[in-house]
Amino acid sequence: MTRRLLIVHSAGDFREAWRLREQSGGEVYYGHSYILDELARMAATFDEAGYLAGSAPVYDERLPSGARVLGAGADPYADPAPTLAAMARFAPTHLIVHGPIAPLLRWGLQNQLEVGCVLADSFHIDPVRRWLRHRGLPRLLNDPGITLVGNHGVNAARGLVDLGVRPDKVIAWDFPHARSPADFAPRQLGPAGPRRLFYAGLIVRSKGVGELIRAVARLKPTRDVRVSIAGAGRVDAYRNLARRLGVADRVEFLGLVPNTQVLEHMRQADAVVVPSRHAFPEGLPLTLYEALTSRTPLIASDHPMFRGHLRDGESALVFPAGNARALAAAIERLFDDAALYERLSRHAADAWQRMQCPVKWGTMIERWTRGDPSDLAWLRSHALDAGEPQ
């Protein structure tokens, strides 16, 4: 029997990711090299294995590994038709939809495929917005025809259950992490001088970039705090905000930084800030892992996806999301207390360990596609109703 696996995501460009790795050995987004390696393994066991990114330019290419990478040219959330057409041309027998993209999932069910849904999304948002955006998702994911449901991290997986998805179907997954806090010694607060913050991520309102810049402006009369911002998005808007607040000389925009360099930037900074607002659909942001790995003290918002992982005053400083005044106070608190600074750096390893998830993306998909009784039992043993991951 022919077996054809297609993984579909709204974003990502794996043709470009492969080219970048061939040219430099690096990656812009963490996990892309890992996914390319997993696709190569899948290509060896399927007649076809492909990764389709809806928003990527239109292409269909075969990599030297044998895996196919495809682009549909349109965001499937806004316009699913081009992605659906590319899916039909590929003619999969096994379909993984990487995101809560209902039209793609329904297409798989209508065509009686083996269907899985793998997410990296938070559903802890305003209840009205959540109902409007996802009111049909629990019923769809509970359909017996969708036999794999995963979300990135335990808190995100619990969010699916809170939404109404059966806990016996939901698995918390993660990518493997090659580096850990054990690779670095705990840090101590350096001598007086300009204090440097680092942020990596989308440059948009819901990621808290505005609060970060406003916090730097609040601190300007009393101390020299500077921030380097890595990522893409509304750079011009936030550069203008820094100019209006009089801190253009203290806010540096680095553009997209290869993931292999993010850890180095974090090590050079005095603190890492993850100021996400609750409205941003975080799953389990890799920036948290990287900050804890670097041992550079972390200042983070109280986003629901961080709950249980970070302990205020022990492994991070936690402030109310969306509150620039509270963020500025947390920055002052960190740089006024050398013992606190050292404690956060030392306990980063404990927080990193709490965030570990035993189910890895590639293993989860491999076991699901293989479908032997032992594989199905393994998947079942990692569902949320089987107990929290240890």
CATH match for 4-177+357-386 among 3.30.70.1710, 3.60.9.10, 3.40.50.2000, 3.30.1360.120: 3.40.50.2000
Which residues face 5 on adjacent strands?
49, 94
Q: What is the pLDDT of residue 25?
A: 83
- pLDDT above 80: residue 285: no
Question: Domain spans of the chain?
Answer: 4-177+357-386, 181-354
Tell which CATH classification among 3.60.21.10, 3.40.50.10540, 3.30.70.20, 3.40.50.2000 matches the domain 181-354: 3.40.50.2000
| Distance in angstroms (rounded) separating the CA atoms of residues 160 and 255 | 33
The pLDDT of residue 130 is above 70: no
- Listed in order, strand segments (DSSP E) in 231-343 are 251-255, 271-274, 298-301, 317-319
pLDDT value of position 390: 36
Say what the pLDDT of residue 125 is: 59
pLDDT higher than 90, residue 260: no
More confident residue, 287 or 187: 187
pLDDT of 96 reads: 98
Question: At 248, is the pLDDT very low, low, confident or very high (cuts 50, 70, 90)?
Answer: very high
Question: How confident is the model at residue 181, as a pLDDT?
Answer: 95
pLDDT of residue 171: 97
Q: Measured between alpha carbons, how far is residue 380 from residues 115, 350, 389 in Å?
A: 16, 28, 12
* pLDDT above 80: residue 133: no
Q: What is the pTM of this model?
A: 0.84
Q: Quote the radius of gyration of the chain (alpha carbons, Å).
A: 22
- pLDDT value at residue 389: 41
Task: Answer for the pair 339, 187: CB distance below 8 angstroms, yes or no.
Answer: no
pLDDT at 89 exceeding the cut of 50: yes
* Proportion of the chain above pLDDT 70, given as a percent: 96
The Cα-based distances of 317 to 112, 200, 202, 322, 326 in angstroms read 49, 17, 21, 15, 11
More confident of the two residues 254 and 122: 254
Digit-coded pLDDT (tens) for 219-235: 999 999 999 999 999 99
pLDDT the model gives residue 279? 84
pLDDT tens digits for range 143-158 = 999 999 999 999 889 9
Q: Pick the closest to residue 319 from 199, 211, 210 (CA basis).
A: 211
| Neighbouring-strand partners of residue 316 | 312
Q: Is the pLDDT of residue 131 over 80?
A: no
Q: Do domains 4-177+357-386 and 181-354 have the same CATH topology?
A: yes
Q: Contact, 253 vs 235, CB < 8 A? A: yes
- Per-residue pLDDT, 129: 63
Unique residue bearing structure tokens 């495929």: 113
Gap between the Cα atoms of 51 and 63, Å rounded:
11
The whole-angstrom distance between residue 190's C-alpha and the CA centroid of its chain comes to 31
Higher-confidence residue of 128 and 102: namely 102
Predicted confidence at residue 283, as pLDDT, reads: 65
Evaluate whether 207 touches 276 at the Cβ level (below 8 Å): yes
pLDDT digits (tens, 9 = 90+) for 10-34: 998 999 999 999 998 888 788 899 9
Q: What percent of the chain has pLDDT over 90?
A: 80
pLDDT at 240: 98
**Where residue 387 falls among pLDDT bands split at 50, 70, 90?**
low
pLDDT at 127 over 90: no
* Average pLDDT score over residue span 70-82: 97
Smallest CA-to-CA distance from 317 within 293, 339, 299, 297 is with 299
* pLDDT tens track for 21-67: 999 888 878 889 999 999 999 999 999 999 999 999 999 999 999 99
Mean pLDDT over the full length of the chain: 93
Q: What's the rounded mean pLDDT across residues 308-317?
A: 93
Structure tokens at 127: 């209840």
Six-digit token pair at 211?
């609060």
Distance between CA 295 and CA 272 in Å, rounded?
10
Looking at the predicted structure, is the pLDDT value of residue 365 above 80? yes
How far, in Å, are 150, 307, 309, 331, 348 from residue 212 at the CA level? 32, 20, 22, 10, 22
